[in-house]
Each structure stands twice: as structure tokens, then as C-alpha cells.
């Protein structure tokens, strides 16, 4: 098979569905975030990582202490030659033995570690079942030597069981209760993470039973860390590998861990398979013993692996593109979707950031990934966010997924993402019924989703300056501008743009509801916004970003640092709030100051000193994250804006710069995984210009997908019709785009015989020339041929 985007650390397989790491010394751990929406794991390419259920903060199963340099916490599997006493691990960590082969394949829903040491080939496949709170570690061992080998295989990891109170570990370990039965270690914790019904803390049990099991008869086991690693020992040289067997200790008086040891013999060329499982069953609802028995066997494991593959491909392949741009294909078809769903919406954790909650605006935006794949899941997500709105219209900035609860802040934009994403959902699905769904408010009472959306908009209307501009409050989309407007005087120009687009798009729905007074109010506000933005926010060559409580402008020529901000320009174009001439000038300024080789910077020049009147963006080192780095989430919007401007060169540069496979070319500069987006990469002022970080848990994945499909390929469902308006490099001879609408499949073939970049000359639907393509839902297959020229 051909290798795509090969670097010294790895490559994509020809179908783009897998990334193979061939060298363990990647500049940073390259991980896979695998989730079934309930139970999740992170698997790093070294074999490290951890497990949780529900969310990584409140219900952690196994222990990991964030350390991207050592990457030395995990669920480890040792292989030992019982004749020579030599041992290594199934993955590179923790033993890091000299190897004959080391190769890690991150796939959609699984990771496989291939290792060969001392002529023993091992293949360890890890994944999470489709529906149950169980992870599977499927190990295959083969004797590639010419003599019979006697081996044992030993698992080892530490438990957390609930909240992750590492600073109180000595306290928490006292409540862990392990039990060994059959081939399985079961473990409970007599201390829950929540108070009891009378509000008394430390008075409940953890509400799960966790387990660790193996498919072969257990030779020995231990539940005590000290007896495994040895006092002052570590995982690389554990005492357990110097003793013949584990001590079979399993009581409440040690330092809890789980370790199971099995023994096998292998004739030359012989292969054996072993299945280990880890899981957590909710007490009273699920049966740990049943779950562990069900999955801890080789046949069932193979079946379940096929289920996992099928589950993901059925979901992701509902929409497929084929363009001359291989990086765009790989990201759009598989990895950006997988990242957005598995990493952002379900697992909600990456190696750089653990999230226990849903961010109000975050997973709402992410839910757009489901529009083309499974709109029901988008609907569920939108309604869930609506439940976290107050009657007054404002929302929890984020909330915990277990038992709710989160901060009610003075953020000015997150409430508005509810109507924004709702109208995008309806635009794509025609499911108007979502507006009538009755959803509770977080502080009591309930209303239809339409009422929720209306309250959000009405609340935002109360937060305007005398100049007719929205107030920024504690922050807008840029969380780190958290000191600009805390006294409710400072204004946000980005928010004005955003609100302008939102109102424009939402007014038809208001009219549909017959809410004419409110529609009139929204129309008035539209005018006010346009008038005020153009009167007060134009700085000559671009739009300013905000004003502070004291009236000082930010993102203005008058500033020495941070004199131009990206969002204030891109959204002026996206929202269409200004005239052509200003759009052109603003985007020329973006090209002049912000658009770099690795995408568009969030602002320029970076702040070099903390500014307590602006906020924590100024406290990052210059060029890092929101302080003048490429903040990938916002950088995707530059692609959108340049597409609207028909500035193909800039659009494509803005896209390619942040499309991760292309960073394989300078991977030692980039550092990050080439198969998922990074949250940010360093701006030019950093000595590490172009270095990516904060991968996986970033809203950029969904937007990277969306700007590719909607604004580069230009295929946009729009209230029952498909807008088809590609903006592509003129060298492309065309592309195809396939997707389902319900059970109806569309295959759109775009041809570019005259090498143009945009402009649709002819559209043929099922053999007949048409002006517009209706989205039929008749269960049939439809073909659309589009000729550009």
C-alpha cells in the first residue's frame, strides 16, 4: 500500500483511515482519543494513557498525571521470557527496550501497537466497545525464533475511581476495596465523589464497580503497587519482573493497583491471543461480572472489533469527498470528523487539556459535524445546551456532565450560539420541529427551543452601548480578553458582526413563528449594528476589535501591540455587515499582517507584557495561543472569509497552512500529530514559529471540516436546496462530493474543464439541466453534475 504524507515519524495509509507511527521518538506524544460516547480512553503512541467513564475529570478509572515530556503513566503490559528473564513491554513504554520492530497504528476507534523484541512479535490492539463501558486490550503474540519460548504476560496500572484528587491520594487510597475472583480483579471505592442526600460529604460509595480481567487462567496477580514496582522502584524496572510470580495480594491495606499475570508457551511460528479488559459498571444498573465475562474472550473481541469499525465507517462515510487535495480528503472524510465526535463531543479530553464539562459555545459549534452524518445527534446536543440556559436568557459558560453545575459568567457571546446553531441546523435539515421542542431552563420553568433562542437574543439586546454596539462583558468568543469590559462599558466589534449574521439568518424563523414585533425589533437592531460598526469601528484599513471600559480601542492602528485582530476582519466579511470596499481592504490587511505560512494569526503584533486591562491573552508568552499565535479555531474562519471574497490564493493558503497532514513536511518544527488539528501553533514572534500544540480538544476540527465542505467545495444545504458554489484552485480538474440526506444519496460531480476557480455554468440533476438542486428525500440515489466555467 502506498504511504501518504510520510515523514521520519510515520505516514497515512493509502486510504487515509490510519496513521502509522514508525518511530517512537516523536517530538510529543501522538495520541488517539477513543470513545463510545460514555467510556473513553486516550492511547498515546508510547502505550501510555488513561481511561474514564462519563468525563475525564469526575469519573476517572485509571491514573495519569499530565506530563507530555515523560508520558509515563499508563496501563502497561509486560512480556517476559521465562528462560532468560528478559522482559519488555507490549508498547514501547514503560520498558523502552531495544526493538526489532516498533509500529503504532492509530485508526478510527482503535490503536494497534506492533512490537518485536527478542524475536517475539506482539500486536496489541486497544479499543472501546460500541455500547458498553468496557475497553479491550487484544494481544497477539508470535514466536519468530527457532526455539520454543516460555513467556509470561503481566498487566499493570493504577486506579483512580471517581474524581481525580491526586493531591489527596494518600487519603483516597484508603477507601479502595479490591477483590480477586475468577480471572478478574473487581474494585470498589467506599468514598463517592458527591455528598449524600443530606448533603454530607465523604458519606457515600463510588457508584461503580471497576474491573480488570484476562482471558487466560491467571498464574498470579496483585492489587498492591508496592509489591509490583517495589519500594522506590518504578515501572521500567519493576520488582515484579525480578520475581517469579506476583504476590497474590488483594486487600484494603496496600496501595491499590491492578496486575494480572498469565503464562504461555509458544513453539516456533506459533501464535497465541490473550484478551485483557478494563471496565466500570454502574452499581444497580450494570453487572461488572457479566460485562467482564462477555468481553474477555478472543472470539467476542474479534467480533466487537468489527462492530467498532463498522460503527465508525457507517457514521463517517455518510459524507465523502474526493478532490485532488489528498490532505483535504483525509481530514474531511475521516480525521476531522472523528476528532470532533470522538475527541471533542464524546471523550472531551486531550493530552493537553482535560475537560470535565461541556462548553456552552464549544460543543454547540462542534455539533455541526453531525449535520451530514446523523442530524439526530446534533439535535440532541442543541437541546442539551438549551437546558443550560437561565430563564433570563444567559447560560452556563460550561457545565459538568455528571450532576450538572458550572459557572454563570458575564460572557457576552455564548448564549447567542444557541440561536445561531439552531438556525444552521434547520437550514441543513429542514427540521423545523426542533423549534417546538420543550426544554427546561436550568433555574426552573420551561419553554420551547424557539423561546430559548428568543430569550438569548433578547438578553443580548439589553447589553448594548449608547453607540449601538454590543458590550463585550467579561469576554466574547475570545475567553482571554477577560478584562476588557468587565464594567459593561467596553464594546465588542466581533460580537457586532456575529450578531448581525445571526439576526439576518434567524429573522425568517421569527417571522415563521408569527412573532412579528420581535422580528421588527431584530430588523431594527440589524440596521443599528450595521450603522454603528461602520461608523465607529472602521479604523481606515481594518476594523478595530473592541473598546475597553475606559473607551480605549483595541486592535486599532493607535495601539502598539495587538493593533489588528483576525476575527474583526473575517466576520465583517462573513456577516456581510460592510461594503465591498471595506471588505477588500480589511482582508488585504489580514494578508499583510496576519496570514502566514501556517495559517492566519489571531492578532498582530503579539503582546509582550501582561496587560491587566485586557486579560490573560496578554499573559501568554508572545506568539503563543491567543496571544498572536495561529488559533486554529479562528484560523478556519479566515478560510471562509477568503472564499467569500473569491480570493482563492489566500483562501487556499489559509487552509493548507492549518491542514495537519501538510505539516508532515516540517514535522520537527510542527511537533504535533499530523492527523488531527492542533488548538494553536506558535506565531512568528515565538522562537518556535509553527510549533503546534493542544491537539485533539479543539473546536477547530469541526470548523476545518465545515470550511472545506461548505466554503471550499461550496456545497451548502440551504432550506431544501443545495447551494453549489465551489471556490477551488484553478488547477483542480474537479471533485466529487457524496452525502446522504436521510436515506437519500446525492453524488455531486463538479467538473472544471476551463480551469476556473469559481462560477457555476451548468447544473444537471439526474440527467436534466436545473437552476437549483432540490434536496429530495425520496430514498433514491441522485446524481448532480456541475460544470464550472
- Residues making contact with ligand GLC (CB under 6 A): 359, 361-362, 477-480, 626, 699
In DSSP notation, 8-52 reads SSEEEETTSS-EEE--S--SS--EEEEE-SSEEEEEETTS-EEEE
**Residue closer to ligand GLC, measured from CB, 163 or 409:** 409
Minimum gap (Å) between residue 655 Cβ and ligand GLC:
20
How distant, in Å, are the alpha carbons of 16, 115, 257, 303, 598 from that of 626? 31, 40, 40, 45, 15
Residue 516: count other Cβ atoms within 10 Å of its Cβ: 10
Q: Which cell goes with 322? A: 474526493
Q: Which cell goes with 466? A: 449608547
**Residue closer to ligand GLC, measured from CB, 544 or 617:** 617
Bridge partners for 44 per DSSP = 31
Minimum gap (Å) between residue 218 Cβ and ligand GLC:
44
Minimum gap (Å) between residue 692 Cβ and ligand GLC:
15
**Residue closer to ligand GLC, measured from CB, 123 or 414:** 414
**Residue closer to ligand GLC, measured from CB, 153 or 603:** 603
Minimum gap (Å) between residue 632 Cβ and ligand GLC:
10
Minimum gap (Å) between residue 420 Cβ and ligand GLC:
13
Q: Decide: 767 and 742 in contact? Cβ < 8 Å.
A: no
Minimum gap (Å) between residue 135 Cβ and ligand GLC:
27
How distant, in Å, are the alpha carbons of 108, 173, 353, 384, 400 from that of 356? 23, 22, 10, 16, 6
Chain centre distance of CA 255: 34
Minimum gap (Å) between residue 46 Cβ and ligand GLC:
26
Minimum gap (Å) between residue 354 Cβ and ligand GLC:
13
| 475/212 Cα distance (integer angstroms) | 45
The residue number with the shortest CB distance to ligand GLC is 479
**Residue closer to ligand GLC, measured from CB, 89 or 412:** 412
Q: What sign results for the dihedral spanned by CA atoms 113, 114, 117, 119?
A: positive
Minimum gap (Å) between residue 9 Cβ and ligand GLC:
27
Q: Decide: 554 and 547 in contact? Cβ < 8 Å.
A: yes
**Residue closer to ligand GLC, measured from CB, 280 or 635:** 635
Give the helix/strand (H/E) hosting 365: helix 360-366
- Three-state secondary-structure class, residue 292: helix
End-to-end CA distance of the chain: 36
**Residue closer to ligand GLC, measured from CB, 375 or 615:** 615
**Residue closer to ligand GLC, measured from CB, 155 or 636:** 636
Minimum gap (Å) between residue 163 Cβ and ligand GLC:
22
**Residue closer to ligand GLC, measured from CB, 11 or 399:** 399
In DSSP notation, 390-458 reads -TTS-BBSEEESSS----B--BSSGGGHHHHHHHHHHHHH--GGGGG-EEE-TTS-EEEHHHHHHHHHH
Q: Choose among 59, 29, 56: nearest CA to 43.
A: 29
**Residue closer to ligand GLC, measured from CB, 46 or 401:** 401
Q: Which cell goes with 512? A: 415563521
Amino acid at each position: 500500500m502506498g504511504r501518504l504524507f510520510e515523514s521520519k515519524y510515520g505516514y497515512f495509509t493509502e486510504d487515509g483511515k490510519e496513521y502509522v507511527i514508525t518511530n517512537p521518538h516523536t517530538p510529543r506524544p501522538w495520541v488517539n482519543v477513543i470513545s463510545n460516547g460514555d467510556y473513553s480512553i486516550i492511547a498515546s503512541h508510547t502505550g501510555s494513557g488513561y481511561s474514564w467513564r462519563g468525563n475525564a475529570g469526575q469519573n476517572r478509572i485509571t491514573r495519569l498525571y499530565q506530563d507530555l515530556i515523560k508520558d509515563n503513566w499508563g496501563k502497561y503490559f509486560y512480556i517476559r521470557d521465562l528462560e532468560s528473564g528478559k522482559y519488555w513491554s507490549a508498547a514501547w513504554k514503560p520498558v523502552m527496550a531495544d526493538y526489532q520492530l516498533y509500529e503504532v497504528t492509530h485508526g478510527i476507534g482503535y490503536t494497534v501497537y506492533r512490537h518485536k523484541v527478542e524475536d517475539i512479535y506482539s500486536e496489541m490492539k486497544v479499543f472501546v466497545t460500541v455500547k458498553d463501558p468496557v475497553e479491550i486490550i487484544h494481544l497477539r503474540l508470535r514466536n519468530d525464533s527457532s526455539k520454543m519460548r516460555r513467556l509470561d504476560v503481566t498487566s499493570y496500572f493504577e486506579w483512580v475511581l471517581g474524581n481525580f484528587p491526586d493531591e489527596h491520594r494518600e487519603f483516597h487510597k484508603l477507601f479502595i476495596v479490591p477483590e480477586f475472583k475468577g480471572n478478574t480483579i473487581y474494585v470498589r471505592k467506599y468514598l463517592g465523589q458527591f455528598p449524600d442526600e443530606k448533603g454530607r460529604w465523604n458519606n457515600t460509595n463510588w457508584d461503580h464497580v471497576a474491573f480488570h480481567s484476562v482471558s487466560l487462567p491467571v498464574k498470579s496477580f496483585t492489587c498492591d503497587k508496592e509489591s509490583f514496582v517495589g519500594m522506590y522502584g518504578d515501572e521500567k524496572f519493576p520488582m515484579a519482573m525480578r520475581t517469579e510470580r506476583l504476590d497474590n495480594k488483594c486487600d484494603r491495606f496496600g496501595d491499590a493497583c491492578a496486575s494480572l499475570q498469565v503464562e504461555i508457551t509458544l513453539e516456533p511460528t506459533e501464535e497465541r491471543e490473550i484478551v485483557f479488559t478494563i471496565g466500570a459498571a454502574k452499581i444497580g444498573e450494570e453487572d461488572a461480572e457479566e460485562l467482564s465475562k462477555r468481553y474477555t474472550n478472543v472470539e467476542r473481541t474479534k467480533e466487537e472489533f468489527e462492530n467498532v469499525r463498522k460503527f465508525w465507517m457507517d457514521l463517517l462515510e455518510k459524507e465523502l469527498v474526493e478532490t485532488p487535495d489528498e490532505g483535504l480528503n483525509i481530514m474531511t472524510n475521516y480525521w476531522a470528523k472523528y476528532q470532533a465526535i470522538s475527541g471533542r463531543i464524546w471523550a472531551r479530553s486531550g493530552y493537553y487539556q482535560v475537560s470535565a464539562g461541556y462548553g456552552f459555545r464549544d460543543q454547540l459549534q462542534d455539533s455541526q459535524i453531525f449535520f451530514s452524518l446523523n442530524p439526530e445527534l446534533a439535535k440532541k446536543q442543541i437541546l442539551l445546551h438549551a437546558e443550560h440556559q437561565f430563564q433570563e436568557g444567559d447560560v452556563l459558560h460550561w457545565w459538568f456532565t455528571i450532576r450538572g453545575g458550572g459557572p454563570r459568567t458575564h460572557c457576552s457571546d455564548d448564549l447567542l450560539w444557541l440561536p445561531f446553531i439552531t438556525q444552521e441546523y434547520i437550514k441543513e435539515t429542514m427540521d423545523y420541529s426542533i423549534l417546538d421542542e420543550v426544554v427546561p431552563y436550568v433555574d426552573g420553568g420551561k419553554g420551547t427551543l424557539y423561546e430559548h433562542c428568543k430569550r438569548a437574543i433578547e438578553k443580548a439586546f439589553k447589553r448594548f452601548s449608547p453607540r449601538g454596539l454590543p458590550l463585550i462583558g467579561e469576554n466574547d468568543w475570545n475567553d482571554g480578553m477577560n478584562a476588557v469590559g468587565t464594567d459593561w462599558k467596553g464594546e465588542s466589534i466581533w460580537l457586532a458582526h456575529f450578531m448581525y449574521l445571526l439576526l439576518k439568518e434567524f429573522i425568517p424563523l421569527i417571522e415563521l413563528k408569527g412573532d412579528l414585533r420581535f422580528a421588527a425589533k431584530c430588523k431594527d437592531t440589524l440596521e443599528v449594528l450595521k450603522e454603528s460598526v461602520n461608523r465607529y469601528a472602521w479604523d481606515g484599513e481594518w476594523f478595530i476589535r473592541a473598546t475597553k471600559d475606559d473607551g480605549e480601542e483595541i486592535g486599532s492602528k493607535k495601539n502598539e501591540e495587538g493593533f489588528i485582530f483576525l476575527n474583526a476582519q473575517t466576520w465583517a466579511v462573513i456577516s456581510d455587515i460592510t461594503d465591498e470596499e471595506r471588505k477588500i481592504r480589511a482582508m488585504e490587511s489580514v494578508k499583510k499582517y496576519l496570514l502566514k505560512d501556517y495559517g492566519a494569526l489571531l492578532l498582530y503584533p503579539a503582546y509582550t507584557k501582561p496587560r491587566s486591562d485586557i486579560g490573560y491573552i496578554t499573559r501568554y508568552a508572545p506568539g503563543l495561543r491567543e496571544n498572536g499565535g495561529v488559533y486554529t479555531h479562528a484560523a478556519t474562519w479566515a478560510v471562509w472569509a477568503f472564499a467569500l471574497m473569491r480570493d482563492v490564493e489566500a483562501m487556499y493558503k489559509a487552509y493548507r497552512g492549518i491542514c495537519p497532514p501538510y505539516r508532515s513536511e516540517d514535522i520537527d518544527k510542527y511537533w504535533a500529530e499530523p492527523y488531527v488539528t492542533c488548538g494553536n501553533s506558535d506565531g512568528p514572534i515565538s522562537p518556535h514559529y509553527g510549533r503546534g500544540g493542544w491537539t485533539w480538544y479543539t473546536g477547530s476540527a469541526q470548523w476545518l471540516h465545515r470550511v472545506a465542505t461548505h466554503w471550499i467545495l461550496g456545497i451548502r444545504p440551504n432550506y431544501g436546496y443545495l447551494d453549489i458554489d465551489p471556490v477551488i484552485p484553478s488547477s483542480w480538474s474537479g471533485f466529487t462530493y457524496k452525502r446522504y440526506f436521510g436515506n437519500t444519496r446525492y453524488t455531486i460531480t463538479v467538473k472544471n474543464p476551463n480551469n476556473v476557480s469559481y462560477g457555476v455554468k451548468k447544473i444537471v440533476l439526474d440527467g436534466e439541466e436545473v437552476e437549483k438542486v432540490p434536496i429530495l428525500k425520496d430514498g433514491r440515489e441522485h446524481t448532480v453534475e456541475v460544470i464550472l466555467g
